[in-house]
């Protein structure tokens, strides 16, 4: 009887991971490990770079910009999503330090900005889909690959109610626009729904965060689930969500040990193999 119960539990776990786009080999995997990838794979990075020196801890100060550039250059991603940058000029300097031919889109408004950088493909701003200074929409098309619609989001750190509205709107926008595009939602969502972690650091409206997360996973796969914390102190606040069924996740998670100065976020990385159709 005990063996039968264990068998049922194992099958149930396998079904849960399969539905979320995971293989059993990802169970318990911690962090992103840089490895060679196929030329057709899509690598996406999301990184809150706030705290890398400068006034108020929000600026990519010149002395720390080479470090940020070195990390991103080593990753050699196709898409980079940044949160908490101070100005378009800083992003342009970062782009030059990265080398290559990067296209850059920087948001407007708010006390800190968002940026999307793309290479090896065409990057276009989708401002008509942006509803607040905390979100940024862009499309990306690489030769021979299906088009991508991505929203870079920095949700409110202090209000679960605001996070709920911001993330809900972003999800609805992605699901209702640009048919035929692979939909990706990524950024610093400030959700920490791990039940064994502290709840007193930002808000105590945990039921709203759980509700928000559950709404997200109705539409998307959480590709960095079970890969470790992304921010101090031991919290998972940064995510990459994408449509289930269209993508095979090769590897994903926070890339540890890349913070500098007063930064408290790790870059979160995913290598994706996108289905090219029948």
For the chain, how big is the Rg over CA atoms in Å? 18
Q: Which residues are 139's β-sheet partners?
A: 124, 149
Task: Look at 10-24, 92-106, 112-126, 162-176 and tell me which has the smallest mean pLDDT.
Answer: 10-24
CA 130, distance to chain mean position in Å, is 17
CATH H-level superfamily of 31-274: Endonuclease/exonuclease/phosphatase (3.60.10.10)
Cβ neighbours for 266, distance < 8 A, ≥ 6 positions apart: 47, 230, 231, 238, 254, 255, 256, 258, 259
**CB distance 148 to 79 below 8 Å:** yes
pLDDT average, residue stretch 211-219: 94
Give this prediction's pTM: 0.85
Residue 201 has pLDDT above 70, yes or no: no
pLDDT value at residue 110: 75
Residue 277, sorted as left (phi over 0), alpha (psi -120 to 50) or beta, turns out to be left
pLDDT value at residue 61: 55
pLDDT value at residue 52: 62
Give the separation between CA 239 and CA 226, rounded to whole angstroms: 11
* Confidence grade of residue 112 (pLDDT, cut at 50, 70, 90): confident
pLDDT value at residue 29: 61
Per-residue model confidence as pLDDT tens digits over 252-272: 999 999 998 889 999 999 999
Q: Which of 204 and 165 is assigned the larger pLDDT? A: 165
Give the separation between CA 121 and CA 103, rounded to whole angstroms: 9
Q: Which of 13 and 121 is assigned the larger pLDDT? A: 121
pLDDT value at residue 97: 94
Residue extents of the structural domains in the chain: 1-29, 31-274
């Amino acid at each position: 009887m005990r063996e039968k119960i264990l068998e049922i539990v194992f099958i149930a776990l396998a079904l849960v991971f399969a539905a979320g786009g995971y293989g059993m080999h990802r169970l318990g995997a911690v962090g992103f490990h840089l490895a060679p990838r196929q030329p057709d794979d899509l690598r996406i990075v999301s990184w809150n770079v706030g705290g890398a020196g400068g006034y108020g801890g929000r600026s990519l100060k010149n002395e720390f910009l080479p470090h940020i550039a070195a990390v991103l250059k080593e990753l050699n991603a196709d898409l980079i999503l940044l949160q908490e940058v101070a100005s378009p000029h800083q992003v342009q300097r970062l782009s030059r330090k990265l080398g290559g031919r990067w296209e850059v889109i920087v948001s407007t408004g708010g006390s800190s900005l968002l940026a999307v950088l793309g290479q090896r493909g065409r990057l276009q701003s989708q401002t008509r889909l942006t509803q607040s200074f905390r979100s940024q929409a862009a499309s990306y098309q690489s030769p021979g690959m299906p088009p991508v619609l991505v929203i870079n989001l920095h949700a409110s750190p202090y209000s679960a109610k605001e996070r709920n509205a911001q993330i809900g709107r972003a999800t609805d926008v992605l699901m209702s626009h640009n048919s035929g595009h692979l939909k990706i939602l990524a950024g610093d969502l400030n959700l920490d729904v791990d039940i064994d972690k502290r709840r007193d650091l930002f808000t105590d409206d945990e039921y709203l965060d759980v509700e928000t997360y559950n709404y997200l996973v109705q539409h998307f796969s959480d590709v960095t689930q079970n890969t470790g914390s992304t921010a101090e102190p031991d919290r998972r606040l940064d995510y990459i969500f994408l449509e289930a069924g269209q993508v095979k996740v090769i590897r994903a998670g926070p890339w540890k040990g890349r913070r500098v100065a007063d930064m408290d976020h790790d870059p979160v990385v995913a290598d994706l193999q996108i289905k090219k159709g029948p």
